[in-house]
Structure 1
Amino acid sequence: MKRTFIALLTIGCISFTNQVQAQQNENFDLQSFIENLFNLQDESLNYEDLYERLLLLYENPVNLNSASVDQLKGLYILSDPQIDSLKNYITENGKLLTVYELQLVPGFDYNTIEKLAPFVSVDSKEFIQDDRPLLQRILTERNNYFIYRFEQTLEEKEGYTEPESPDDTRYAGGPAKHYLRYRVAKSGDFSFGFTTELDAGEKFTWDPATKRFGMDFWSIHGMVENYKGFRKIILGDYQLQFGQGLIFGAGFGVGKGSETINALERVNTGAKPYTSVIEGGFLRGTAVTYDVSEKMEVTAFASHLKQDASIRQDEESFEDYFSSIQTTGFHRTPTEIANKRQIAETVLGANLHFKMSEIAQFGMVLNSNSYSLPIQRSNQAYNQFEFSGKSNHNASIYTSFSLRQFRFFGEGGISKSGGTGGVFGFTSTLSPRVDFAMMFRSYARDFHALRGASFAEGSRNINESGIYWGFKYTLNSKFFLTAYYDTFQFPWLRFRVNTPSEGNDYLLRLNYFPQRSVKIYIQYRNKSREENTEDPEDGSTVVRAGTKQQVLANLEYRITPQLNLKSRVQFSDFRITDEFNDGYAFIQDAVYSTGKFVFSGRIAIFDTEGANNRQYAYERDVLYAFSIPAYSGEGIRNYLLIQYKLNRQIDIWARVARTSFYDRDEVGTGLETIDGDKRTDVKFQIRYKIR
């Protein structure tokens, strides 16, 4: 009775209620949520996959009363102690009556609840299986929509001009980019959809000889869940993530960033539909997950995917080979068209997953990769231990479990070459104010996990070892500090690094939220890594440490419920031997909501020297599109984004962005060259919700 009374009082907290409900309305800005949570503007994070998964959660919130630990961890918001505290609270007091009751759960503050609210719900009723026919469930699902997008650069590029001679290369298609997407999905039940895209410069044509079928790229999937003992059945395009992503890592890992604790451990998501237009990194075929028992499930998968590559012929054996998979996805010129889908990759494998309890699980992964032609790397020293040949196979084991205030996780594996790789770590709450994490990784120079994406400094799980420390100190609800230190070594040569090398990377971020309408943070990052450089004395190539420092200062303030402003200053410098250069950007953003309209705009002034000081800054964009341009050189950039909700079913976006340079009279290179000092990009998108 006392608990119910307190919960009712909590509901009566009008200010809190209004804040949470404001976030759960149709104007909730998921793109800004991702930016503020991870702040990874200079990392190669697949924002589309992350956005897709969080949007699906937003449309179908997780029920806190029945959510698993993996589901809660997959939000990247709650720490392990907070998850344990929530589970204990429900065990001791019964199911939550309202989301606002989270204020009574030890360890939950307003900022946490504010982030969590859009993705969760509270339902005290027992789950009732929907036994209606699948078609009927699809037709009545509210998360059912079409999206069409149009993009174009207004200035003419070299690739679209008239050739001066018959030998000049030009793009096959026009300057417009087209995107079409359909999806209907309900979490825990089904997902069906397709995504298709025609990049600027690609020709809309039906030509089986060149493997072009209307739009240049197509991705289709169908998935049913919880069907007659099968956890999942997927046909079409999909991704896999098991353990810590050592063998299979999809786009659901965050890596190094300002969230130094909660996002470190990978969540075992298994098979997921692929809905992006990034033309690489996915599988095409089928994946099936079957519940053998309450504690054991088996996933089997098979894929046959044709990918882009340049076919060459060995001068001695006259056998065809290729040196690498091309992942740009462009098919605009005769060469790009000729390279389209030249290599077939077949992937077969299985995963056995044991869930001993909510806090303890382990599993194993087996897989094989084979190509229709052998990979043969260039004859360079750094390629000596790279994968070559037509086939590879891997095996790994992984685990995660909690012990007192510690959460342990890890995965170790081996490849056909005999090379081994492993990543192991833990997180812990040392005190109510201090969280700590540590992760060890070691990937041999001949460890070949061709689809792995576990924690690493490099872009692949090979030729690297290192130790990561993460730290978070919470003084109170207004002030907290996050930091990490990462040291790494590369035991063999790398591209443009002629010796084994090493480096370190550390970040410190101070967060201050004096009131709900004001958020301030200051961030410092220092990264040092060895690379080839020229000796100033004799001009020879030597390996020296290059150091980059970055400073960010960000102020976000809500003037009124309709108007939100954000001011940001970024600065960096890079030093190696006698070379020193720097760069900066001053950025002012504004977001204004009124009625059915949302207006977003930016003015950014930048001045940078060298490629190492390019300034990356997230920009608001249309739904399912992300803009993180690199500000390079001297200039000013502006954009205006307008969102209009015509009615319950139709949303419209229009965006124009222009960059004006002060240090050049040409923009771009090669066929992308613009004769002038400006580039203007326009974008239009419409979403139609069927229900």
Structure 2
Amino acid sequence: MIRRVRSRKAKLWFRSLTLSGRAGGWRSWRFALLLLLTLPAHAQQYQRPQNLDFDLLIQELFAQQGGDDASTSYEDLYENLSQFFQSPLNLNTATPEELGSLFILTPNQIGSLQRHLRQHGALLSLYELQAVAGFDLPTIYKLAPFVTVPETSLQTDRRKFFARLSDGDNTALILRMTRTVEEKKGYTAPTFYQGKPTTRYLGSPEQLYARFRTTHFHDYSFGITVEKDAGEQLRWSLADRQYGPDFISAHAVLYDRGRLKTVAIGDYQAQFGQGLLLSGGFGVGKGAETIATVRRPNSGIRPYTSVLETIYLRGAAATVRVGGGVEVSAFGSRKRVDGSGLVVDTTDTDQVVSEGFSALAATGFHRTPSELARRRNVTETLGGADVTWTAPSRTLQVGLTGVATRYSAALLRRDVPYNRFAFRGTDNTGLGAHYSWTVGSATVFGESARSRSGGWGHVHGLVASLSASVDAALMVRDYARDFQSFYGNTFGEGTYPVNERGVYLGIKVRPIARWELSAYYDRFRFPWLRSRAATVNSGGDEWLGRILFRPDKLTTIYAQLRVERKDRDLPTQVDLQLKQVGVGTRRNAVVYAAYKPSAKLELRSRVQASSYQLGAVTRTTGLAIAQDLNFALGRRVALDTRFALFDTDDFDNRQYMYESDVLYAFSIPALNGRGSRAYAVLRYGINRHLDIWLRAARTLQRDQTTIGSGLEEIQGPRRTDVRVQVRWRAQ
């Protein structure tokens, strides 16, 4: 084994000597010397961590917090990153779209890696990334948990399909239970109001989750996921189409079968272009990562493995390589969705024109009789296709996308002024074109689309490396007030690409070693009325600045400031017939430090503060302080702990902090009021096949006699949540 590793290292060393004229002489010779010194080592492959630490990456990607439109759901993006951690990308065979889905590498870095592979052949070690133009050590450290360079990367697995399937290199079963210890109002005995019992939850307070999945990179993925939310029933009802848990999702996906690039049956997602018509369900938006997150990857068809009950497609899809760099994707979906708010549309003579629903419920909760009444009461049928051509050099890509959607009942939104141009009816179509072109160290990209209403959506951008230490991004967007896209999710302020114009500028500078500066400025306008701004052409701007310092590989320190100004309705006054609009100013500041004094202990400290002022109203503030102690007690045991204090004047100053959780679970609670929060997460590897996680979190609210509201109300100032998870792996 030692001889073989030395041989691989020697090949890598001699290869590095040939790079002196391509990657900079001193840098390559220094890299070669480093490899020469490591030849006697037993195994120089990167030792991937047993438990993924998302903390710093999450802070970079998910910096948006507390805004009026901060309704972006990050669960699917977290799920995507978790999947890449469990099944890391092979750097020698990963596509540019797969690398872009990590939101870590810029288009220029992805292009540099692809050119390096074409010129010098497959990577022999992850450490060889240091010889790729545009890659520095911080980027490599950030990328390393999600990628691999296996020793068999140059070989093709020629075993028969069922032999590969039985190998189970990435086969796992996960079981999870979550429960709030204190009793919520929804689980108490009902009282009576006007002679009728009050509403209560129909099911038990446990949240139950199970998932089985087996995968093989660029080969296949099979999986099934089931979930019961807290308060939902476990029941078997053919009439209601419930077979045990409330939500069941399954998929079967095959890759690279001759001309078939991908074929999917069951639940899947599709993302083409920049997501104007079809987005994969997740969007990063604006954050401290000011460059890599601007451009969306043209990732195509991928399996759906999350438990968000609205953002997936259910049916069949396939992508075919027809030759000449052309790929044709076709997809169809038919599923039942939750339509809330029964609406009867009438004429002036009170004649019924149509019946429908006023909104698509996105929560996925079916705990009470009223929630059950809207459970999957509307059928959604969707179909479409995408044709994409990629140049042999992979520097140019253009495509056309078409999608059509039909609901079994009419979507009749509430008759309020800001909904004047919103979709109404049963049928919608969209047709768009997308492109990406890399010239040198710059990539231009974009998408334009038109919906059946006649409204247009445009998003176009540029990402460029201005020098070895400076990256910049420009994004221009224009979404008409009548542009209608149900599965669109692209760059912008709102959840959907509609009624918005804006210009974004981002920059990242590495002036000297160990220092990194990043900033963005975004200016936006809303041509039509919005739900919280009753005026046309409202708008605002937003900027962020961040300075990060890594004195050594064990220490990370950063400070960040974000300021947003946005028009918003002033508090309602009885004597005014028309709402007045003022400027709401929100400020968020964060100071963070992480230090790892030993292999068994890591310390993290975080202080964040905010303020909000609307017009001449008194400014309100918020503050949170957190201290983490994370222990690695050998390869089998890990313990993450936190204690935090928070003090906020109102909900506008709620504080978001990412928390460690069990594998595939995501937690960024909103801390509001005055109190403290603590949690502990224990992971224990029983053996190579079995792992168990235990998590407990408690929030203590000072000066309050209850926590929560409605059926979620808890009597008392404390809330305690516990979670247990077990994972079995075949290997």
Q: Normalized against structure 2, the TM-score is what?
A: 0.90
Deviation at 1:309, TM superposition (A): 1.4
User: Equivalent residue of 1:292, what SS?
Assistant: strand
1:605 aligns with 2:645: yes
- Code of the residue aligned with 1:484 in structure 2: it is Y
Q: Do the aligned partners of 2:269 and 2:304 also contact (CA within 8 Å) in 1?
A: yes
Per the alignment, residue 366 of structure 1 pairs with: 402
Deviation at 1:37, TM superposition (A): 4.2
Deviation at 1:107, TM superposition (A): 2.9
Per the alignment, residue 308 of structure 2 pairs with: 278
Per the alignment, residue 549 of structure 2 pairs with: 512
Equivalent position to 1:488, from 524, 545, 553: 524
Per the alignment, residue 256 of structure 2 pairs with: 226
Q: Do the aligned partners of 1:370 and 1:390 also contact (CA within 8 Å) in 2?
A: yes
Per the alignment, residue 141 of structure 1 pairs with: 168
- Deviations 1:418-445, CA, capped at 9 Å, x for gaps: 0000100001122222211100000000
Per the alignment, residue 269 of structure 1 pairs with: 299
Per the alignment, residue 22 of structure 2 pairs with: none
- Distance change >3 Å, CA 612–CA 21, structure 1 → 2: farther
- Deviations 1:16-63, CA, capped at 9 Å, x for gaps: x99996751323x24336414424362555444333333443344433
Equivalent position to 2:265, from 235, 257, 271: 235
Deviation at 1:536, TM superposition (A): 7.9
Structure 2 unpaired stretches of 5+: 1-12, 18-28
Q: Do the aligned partners of 2:706 and 2:713 also contact (CA within 8 Å) in 1?
A: yes
Equivalent positions of 1:524-543 (< 5 A) are 524-534=561-571, 541-543=579-581
1:689 aligns with 2:729: yes
1:192 aligns with 2:222: yes
Q: Do the aligned partners of 1:109 and 1:477 also contact (CA within 8 Å) in 2?
A: no
Per the alignment, residue 287 of structure 2 pairs with: 257
Deviation at 1:521, TM superposition (A): 0.5
User: Equivalent residue of 1:54, what SS?
Assistant: helix
- Deviations 1:204-262, CA, capped at 9 Å, x for gaps: 11123333221111111111111132111111111110000000011343211111011
User: Equivalent residue of 2:663, what SS?
Assistant: coil
Equivalent position to 1:32, from 26, 36, 55: 55
- Distance change >3 Å, CA 373–CA 367, structure 1 → 2: same
Q: In structure 2, how many angstroms separate the alpha carbons of the residues matched to 1:178 and 1:225?
A: 31
Equivalent position to 1:583, from 622, 627, 633: 622
Deviation at 1:603, TM superposition (A): 0.5
Per the alignment, residue 571 of structure 1 pairs with: 609
Per the alignment, residue 3 of structure 1 pairs with: 15
- Deviations 1:185-212, CA, capped at 9 Å, x for gaps: 1121111111111111111111233332
- Code of the residue aligned with 1:344 in structure 2: it is T
- Distance change >3 Å, CA 153–CA 22, structure 1 → 2: farther
- Code of the residue aligned with 2:268 in structure 1: it is Y
1:462 aligns with 2:498: yes
Q: Do the aligned partners of 1:221 and 1:235 also contact (CA within 8 Å) in 2?
A: yes
Q: In structure 2, how many angstroms separate the alpha carbons of the residues matched to 1:225 and 1:665?
A: 56
- Code of the residue aligned with 1:550 in structure 2: it is N
Q: In structure 1, how many angstroms separate the alpha carbons of the residues matched to 2:224 and 2:480?
A: 39
1:81 aligns with 2:108: yes
Per the alignment, residue 642 of structure 1 pairs with: 682
Q: In structure 2, how many angstroms separate the alpha carbons of the residues matched to 1:13 and 1:569?
A: 42
Q: In structure 2, how many angstroms separate the alpha carbons of the residues matched to 1:379 and 1:537?
A: 22
Q: Do the aligned partners of 1:10 and 1:101 also contact (CA within 8 Å) in 2?
A: no
Q: In structure 2, how many angstroms separate the alpha carbons of the residues matched to 1:20 and 1:326?
A: 51
Deviation at 1:124, TM superposition (A): 8.1
Q: Do the aligned partners of 1:236 and 1:285 also contact (CA within 8 Å) in 2?
A: yes
Q: Do the aligned partners of 1:23 and 1:117 also contact (CA within 8 Å) in 2?
A: no
Per the alignment, residue 380 of structure 1 pairs with: 416
User: Equivalent residue of 2:138, what SS?
Assistant: helix
1:208 aligns with 2:238: yes
Q: In structure 2, how many angstroms separate the alpha carbons of the residues matched to 1:592 and 1:412?
A: 49
Per the alignment, residue 720 of structure 2 pairs with: 680
Per the alignment, residue 274 of structure 2 pairs with: 244
- Deviations 1:619-651, CA, capped at 9 Å, x for gaps: 000011011000000000000111100000111
- Code of the residue aligned with 1:78 in structure 2: it is L
1:116 aligns with 2:152: no
1:180 aligns with 2:219: no
Q: In structure 2, how many angstroms separate the alpha carbons of the residues matched to 1:251 and 1:635?
A: 34
Number of aligned positions between the proteins: 690
Equivalent positions of 1:29-68 (< 5 A) are 29-32=52-55, 34-40=57-63, 42=65, 44-68=71-95
Stretch of structure 1 that moved more, 213-222 or 84-93:
84-93
- Deviations 1:452-483, CA, capped at 9 Å, x for gaps: 00111111111001000001111123001000
User: Equivalent residue of 1:534, what SS?
Assistant: coil
Q: In structure 2, how many angstroms separate the alpha carbons of the residues matched to 1:604 and 1:239?
A: 37
User: Equivalent residue of 2:109, what SS?
Assistant: helix
- Code of the residue aligned with 1:207 in structure 2: it is S
Q: Do the aligned partners of 1:69 and 1:359 also contact (CA within 8 Å) in 2?
A: no
- Distance change >3 Å, CA 232–CA 212, structure 1 → 2: same
Q: In structure 2, how many angstroms separate the alpha carbons of the residues matched to 1:510 and 1:88?
A: 31
Q: Do the aligned partners of 2:282 and 2:489 also contact (CA within 8 Å) in 1?
A: no
- Code of the residue aligned with 1:378 in structure 2: it is R
Q: In structure 2, how many angstroms separate the alpha carbons of the residues matched to 1:13 and 1:25?
A: 24
Q: In structure 2, how many angstroms separate the alpha carbons of the residues matched to 1:189 and 1:33?
A: 32
Let me know the Cα RMSD of the aligned residues. Answer: 2.3
User: Equivalent residue of 1:465, what SS?
Assistant: strand
- Deviations 1:125-147, CA, capped at 9 Å, x for gaps: 77554444433322212210111
- Give the % identical residues: 40
- Deviations 1:568-600, CA, capped at 9 Å, x for gaps: 001000011222101000011111011221111
Q: In structure 2, how many angstroms separate the alpha carbons of the residues matched to 1:358 and 1:340?
A: 45
Per the alignment, residue 451 of structure 1 pairs with: 487
Q: In structure 2, how many angstroms separate the alpha carbons of the residues matched to 1:18 and 1:383?
A: 66
Per the alignment, residue 6 of structure 2 pairs with: none
Q: Do the aligned partners of 2:14 and 2:32 also contact (CA within 8 Å) in 1?
A: no
Equivalent positions of 1:287-436 (< 5 A) are 287-310=317-340, 311-314=342-345, 316-318=350-352, 319-356=354-391, 357-436=393-472
User: Equivalent residue of 1:209, what SS?
Assistant: coil
1:656 aligns with 2:693: no
- Distance change >3 Å, CA 363–CA 673, structure 1 → 2: same
Stretch of structure 1 that moved more, 670-679 or 163-172:
163-172
- Deviations 1:320-354, CA, capped at 9 Å, x for gaps: 21011111111111111111000001001100011
Deviation at 1:104, TM superposition (A): 2.6
Per the alignment, residue 157 of structure 1 pairs with: 184
User: Equivalent residue of 1:545, what SS?
Assistant: strand
- Distance change >3 Å, CA 84–CA 291, structure 1 → 2: closer
Q: Do the aligned partners of 2:82 and 2:664 also contact (CA within 8 Å) in 1?
A: no
Q: Normalized against structure 1, the TM-score is what?
A: 0.95
Per the alignment, residue 586 of structure 2 pairs with: 548
User: Equivalent residue of 2:592, what SS?
Assistant: strand
Stretch of structure 1 that moved more, 623-632 or 202-211:
202-211
Per the alignment, residue 105 of structure 1 pairs with: 132
- Code of the residue aligned with 2:434 in structure 1: it is Y
User: Equivalent residue of 1:324, what SS?
Assistant: strand
Deviation at 1:102, TM superposition (A): 2.2
Stretch of structure 1 that moved more, 224-233 or 506-515:
224-233
